[in-house]
Amino acid sequence: MYLVWHTTNLIALKIYLMIRKFNMEFITFPLIVFIILYAFIILKKFIQNSNKKYPPGPCYIPIIGNSYLIKRYCMKYGGLHNALMQLCTKYRSDIIGFNLSGKYVVAIQNDELCDEALLKDELLGRPDSFFIKLRSMGTNKGITMTNGDLWQEQRAFAMKHLRNLGFGKKIMENLIKEEIQMCIENIESDSINVNFKATISKCVVNVLWAFVTGSRFQRDELLDELISIMTERSKAFDMAGGMLSQFPWIRFIAPEASGYNLIKKLNYKLKCIISGTIEEHKKTYSQNITRDFIDAFLHEMYKTRNGPTTFTEDQLIMVCVDLFIAGSVTTSSKIDFLIVQMLVNRDVQQNVYEEISKILKPGEIASLLHKDQMPYVNAVILENDRMYPITPVIGPRNVLAETTLGGYTLPKDTTVLINLWTSSRNENKWKNPDKFCPMRFLKCNEEKKVLFTFGKGKRRCPGEILAKNFIYLFFTSLINNFQIENGNKEVESIKVLPGMLLTAQPYEVKLIRRHI
């Protein structure tokens, strides 16, 4: 502190001598005081940080930061995950720091750093940014992007009551199997489907809708509208993620081009659908009956309405949004990649069918009781997760208090991005990482099998059980009932569309019913 004060006095003396020398009367006393105080603050910060080690990274332009560089790398290399990987290679470090519009950001990419970051209590926060609020319909509510007591209370409440309603139990399995059965019955054999992902999404959303609202969708047009909104919303956030996140003010200048108007419109439509369902529940509400998650939430909302509470209708709407988006979009995308894998790797599809046919009867729907009897099927699903993590860059995490990561200092309020893509393509960890090889996940193989597909620690994905069970049951049942063939256009390789979520390039598929 003495050094800071001494240095500041020297600066002040030099300013005074300069004013005397050049007779700069226009320099007012308040301005001199401001300059001296500013110099004091800068010097104090410099000396305080002189003994701290920060991650390497590019120099940045004030205000703009490294936004231009990140955008250029994303366009050149195909998505944020590849951009971050290239920057790590350039600076020869698995942890790098950069600046996005005045916000300090750190990106990490190896297993040890990912493991450390996901388990650190100081990294449990979410950034309080305009873009996060836009995702949450202008509020800081829901589960996925909330912090502190609100997050802890609401996440614990959601998980407790979903389990009470059968989440992760036999009730959930039966709901999934019913949806799969109806889906398979409605598939026309030998017909070409150009949007099979929408079919998968309907099944997932119906299972989630049953837990949240007590019944599956009764009107297909409403289900189609909900899926369409969630798909468009996901694409809109992909489009606006960089621009609106880094320059929120751009919505006033270019509301259409930035995607702001589109997101607002889709948010409104989504809110109307969920609000309508909540209103229907209110009309038939009974404090003695818990039909579904909305009822459980209404019980708590009415019980605590006369005092301070986090149980509000806006919170209920955002919890529903979090459940539907996290559950349907990611799960359907994972199965989408699996289907394309079966088109490209015919030998794998045949091996999967041969294992299934030894356990299931022709045309039978799979059961979780058979899961341990199908090691190859499980290996195929895991290998698909490894090659194509749907969320290649997870986070963002907000540093709640100054901490260290990998030996580097992370100041409070640093945003941390965790790049899972590099972990899945690491040549030191996986042999021939760009090759689809399910055998690496069988017990006879000694390769490391660490995957962060659903995260880790206290922020681990709450929908993990549903996603894993749904993917296994749907994929196994589909292969047992149909042979997956190309449509009019042959798929020779898997092409990935980058974004906040990875998706497979659109394809045509022909499902040929197997002989029963």
Backbone angles phi, psi at 510, to 5 degrees: -115, 125
- How far is residue 225's CA from residue 198's CA, in Å, rounded to a whole number? 11
Q: Which two tokens stand for residue 434?
A: 């760009």
Written as six digits, the tokens of 132 are 């996060």
Query: From residue 374, how far is each of 181, 338, 369 by CA, in Å?
Result: 20, 16, 10
Locate tokens 């005074």: which residue? 16
Q: How many Å apart are CA 190 and CA 268, to the nearest integer?
A: 39
CA distance 406 to 96: 11
Question: Cα separation of 480 and 356, whole Å?
Answer: 7
Quick one: which of 242, 220, 305, 195 has its CA closest to 67? 242
Q: Where do we find the tokens 């659908």?
A: 273
Q: What angle do CA 475, 481, 485 make, to 5 degrees?
A: 80
Numbered residues of the known binding site: 461
Rounded (10°) angle between helices 464-481 and 170-186: 40
| Orientation angle between helical segments 330-344 and 346-357, nearest 10 degrees | 110
**β partners of residue 510:** 192, 485
The DSSP symbol for 326 reads I
Cβ–Cβ under 8 Å, residues 427 and 85:
no
CA distance 340 to 484: 9
Is residue 321 packed enough to be buried (19+ CB in 10 Å), middle (13-18) or exposed (0-12)?
buried
Does the CA dihedral 8-12-17-18 come out positive or negative? positive
Question: CB neighbours (10 Å) of residue 98?
Answer: 24
Burial class (CB in 10 A: 0-12, 13-18, 19+), 379: buried
Orientation of helix 220-246 relative to helix 67-77, angle to 10°: 130
H or E stretch covering 510: strand 509-513
Strand, coil or helix: what is 393?
strand
Name beta bridge partners: 192.
510
Helix (H), strand (E) at residue 115: helix 111-119
In the block, tokens 């942890």 appear at: 95
What residues are designated binding site for heme? 461
C-alpha R_g of the chain: 27
